Every structure is written in C-alpha cells, then in structure tokens.
Amino acid sequence: MKLYNTLSRSLEEFHPVVEGEVRMYNCGPTVYNYIHVGNARPLCVFDTLRRYFIYKGNDVKFVVNFTDIDDKLINKANQEDTTVKEVAERFIKEFKTDANGLHLYDYNTMNPRATEHIQEIIDFIAGLVEKGAAYESDGDVYFKVESFTEYGKLSHKKLEDLISGARVDISSLKENPADFALWKKKKEGEPYWESPWSEGRPGWHIECSVMAKSLLGDTIDIHSGGEDLQFPHHENEIAQSETLNEKPFANYWLHNGMITVDNEKMSKSKGNFFTVREVAEEFDLEVLRFFLLSSHYRSPINFSRDVMVQTKNSLERIYNGRDKLVDLLEVTKEVELSDKDREFLNSIEEEVKFFETSMENDINTADAITAVFNIVKKINTGLNENSNKKIVSSTFDTLLKLTKVLGILEMSQETDIEVERLIEERVQARKNKDFNRADEIRQELLDMGVVIEDTRAGTKWKRA
C-alpha cells in the first residue's frame, strides 16, 4: 500500500511499526456543537482506511478522541448557563447518533476524552519542563518552540516567518510569541484541576499527544485529520511528543482536502454551513458517507443538494444489484460450474483486484467505487433465474465484502422492516378488497423510494 505522507510530501510505501498491526489516531470533534459535513469527511475517509486494513487481515487499533475541555465548551456552557461537563455529555451523545448514521461504529473504535487523561497530561508537561523544553509563567505553562529544531517540518513553515508575521498569539507571558500553551491557569468560573503550576486545565495540542501516547504508544503508524489541522495543531503535537519521547511521533501523516458548498467555502456567515444532523433530515447518512468517498480524499469536494440527490440515486443502483442477488438466491439451483460460470467468476475477481489496487493507491475510494459499480453491472447483465446458484452466492458474498470496506449497504434494517410491514398490510387489504387502502400503501411506499411489483411468486420490492 502507498500513502501520501504530508511529512515528506510524497507517496510512500506503508510499513507498520509492528507487522500485522496498525495503530491509527484521527483527531476527533470538540464536543460543543453538532458536527458539520466538513468534520464528517476525515471520519468517513479514515474509517474506510481502517476497514480496509481489517479486510486485509490486520489488527487495527483506532482512536478518535473527544476534546471535552476547551474554550469553545466553556463559552457554550456560559451562554447556556450550564456546566462544561453537561455540554460535553450532550454533544458526545449527539455525535454518537451521527456517527452511527455514518456507520463509524461497526468495529471497536476507542473514543477517549481529554478529561480522562488529566494526570497523564500533567506528567507529560512535567517531563517537558524537566527537559527545559517548557516553562511556567504566572501559572501558565508554555512549550518553547525554539527547543525543537525541526519545528515546522510538517507544515513547511519557518519559525522566523511565524514570529515576524505575528500569526500566533502575542502574550507578555511568553518568552517567544510562537510558544504555545500546554497548561492554562483557570479564570473565574472555569473548570480546573490541581497541578504543580496552578489550578487550571490543559491546552488543546497536549491533549491529543497524551491520548495517542497512552493508547497507542510513543510512535504510531498513522495520524490523520483535515488539512486545516496541519498547523498549528499537528505541528505542535509533533514538537511536544518528539521532544519528550525522543523518537518519531507518527510515521505517516494523512490529511484530507476541504469541502466547499455550491463551490463556495463553507461558513456560517455565508449561510451555507450544514451540520450532519441537518443533512439527515433529508437523506440517510449513508448517502453522505458515499458522497464523501466519491472523490479522492486529498482533493477538494463540492457539497450541494443536487450532488446528494445524484449520490442517492447512485447508491440505490448498488442496493438494487444486491436485492436482485437476494431474489436470485431463492430461485436459482446449484449445479456444477460450467466454463461460462468460471469466466463470470474470473471477471468478478478482476474487479476485486481493481478494488484492492485502488484502495492501496493512496486510498483511491473513487476508483474502488467504480469496481463496485462494475460488479453491479455484471449482476444486471449476466445473472438471471437460470444462473448457477454457486455463482449468485459467490457474487453476493463478494459484493457485501467490498461494500463493507466502504461502509455502505448498511442502511438501517428498520426501513426494510417497515417496507415489509406495509407490503403485508397491502396484501391483506387486497384480500379484503380494500383497494383504496392498497393504493394508499403503494403511494406510501413510493414516497419512501420503494417500487413494488405484484408477481405470481408474491409482491416484490426494490428501491426506486
């Protein structure tokens, strides 16, 4: 597998620290609000990478953290006259609702909270102070960026430019304007913890370094997130982690491109800011996941309602292919494989190879999806009631295996259960000659995007 490493600005062959084991850390949400579609992209992309590693037989340890103490949470709590903990609990719960809709929880993902690691954070900071790489100033503790000679190696920014350009906070408490906070002394009314320097709380950057070290070790395989996190967040993580541990923090840094909305940068001021929850009001979130995987992860991607409608229609083609296989499994017979059967299986296997080659070429999910569509096309043109059940079954298993990597074909079974319930009600209505109700149910199903067909074998249904 080759991955584009932001650190080297090049495609590199992936070699994990431990063969057969992959340790990944993806920066998760600051839980003061609902996540937006931009937040969802790295979550879906790097979850797909995780799924592929598992598909290839690796043991994957994957961390997506919750930042549950931060200025944004404090401000939100003050606005709502509540506590930071209550804000965090509420939006962690809301995040999990969205995450389930995006199919981010089919394998065990670790979701540590910063507040669960306060003592480890204090110990980490104390280690940096002892090394002379951090200093206390009026209860705050700052990392001394000049102590890390490679500062800027990820973002390719020069320290002198950062200082002269005043792109960082200027504070009389700092020795250098580029120094960043590891520990912040409490202000009136803020939550705090006891530390050797003051009653206070951790800075943002230190939280991820500590959680990664605690759960994955000193050197991890992959650290990922949106490209907007390269600087200062990831740059600062590298500086403090590699200073304390005296070894590489992450061997591969992966960053996804940004999302525009109707070809404009997404922002609240422009009124084109969409939360995942708002998208869910009109579309199943699997459609959003499929959309986010439809372009290469490092490319910018444009979000719009029209594109989402197109994506929904495309996804339904895959569902219809799956549903056809389900129907054929009921009517086909198992016989010896013919030369034609073997030829069909070989053509499916070629698509599997294309899928794997695409995924191993820097997570090219767009091409991987093409392989899935090619299989669906072969299902529609090459299989029917007279096909060999062995071929139908093998193709079905292959389709599910590949779509499992992408995290699709997993829409809530509750929808299918409701469809079956309505169909059964319609059958009974027809038996009772209540044709008005039968017509109403047909329309209800159409409104749900379901088309029904009355056959001798019973009522069949498929997504429109």
Please state the residue numbers annotated as binding site for Zn(2+): 27, 208, 233, 237
3 state SS of 350: helix
Q: What are phi and psi of 82, to 5 degrees?
A: -135, -165
Please state the residue numbers annotated as binding site: 27, 208, 233, 237, 268
Please state the residue numbers annotated as binding site for ATP: 268
Q: Say which amino acid occupies 332.
A: T
* Distance between CA atoms of residues 431 and 238, nearest Å: 70
Inter-residue contact 67 to 10 (CB < 8 Å): no
* Distance between CA atoms of residues 315 and 300, nearest Å: 21
Return all residues near 351 (Cβ < 8 A) that are at least 6 apart.
Answer: 371, 372, 374, 375, 378
* Distance between CA atoms of residues 180 and 71, nearest Å: 15
What one-character-per-residue DSSP string does 92-118 give? Answer: HHHHHHHHHHTT--SS--B--BGGGGH
Q: Beta 220-226 vs 21-26: how paired, if at all?
A: parallel
Quote the DSSP letter at residue 336: P
Closest CA to 206 of 91, 301, 128, 149: 128
Which helix (H) or strand (E) segment holds residue 51: the answer is helix 37-55
Inter-residue contact 200 to 187 (CB < 8 Å): no
Q: How many CB atoms lie within 10 A of CB 446?
A: 12
User: Whats the size of the chain, residue-wise?
Assistant: 464
**SS3 track for 386-409:** CCEHHHHHHHHHHHHHHHHHHCCC
Return all residues near 164 (Cβ < 8 A) that are at least 6 apart.
Answer: none
Quote the DSSP letter at residue 145: G
* Distance between CA atoms of residues 286 and 6, nearest Å: 29
Q: How many CB atoms lie within 10 A of CB 37?
A: 21
Considering Cα of 275, then 279, then 285, then 287, what sign does the dihedral take?
negative
Greatest extent of the chain over all pairs of C-alpha atoms, in Å: 86
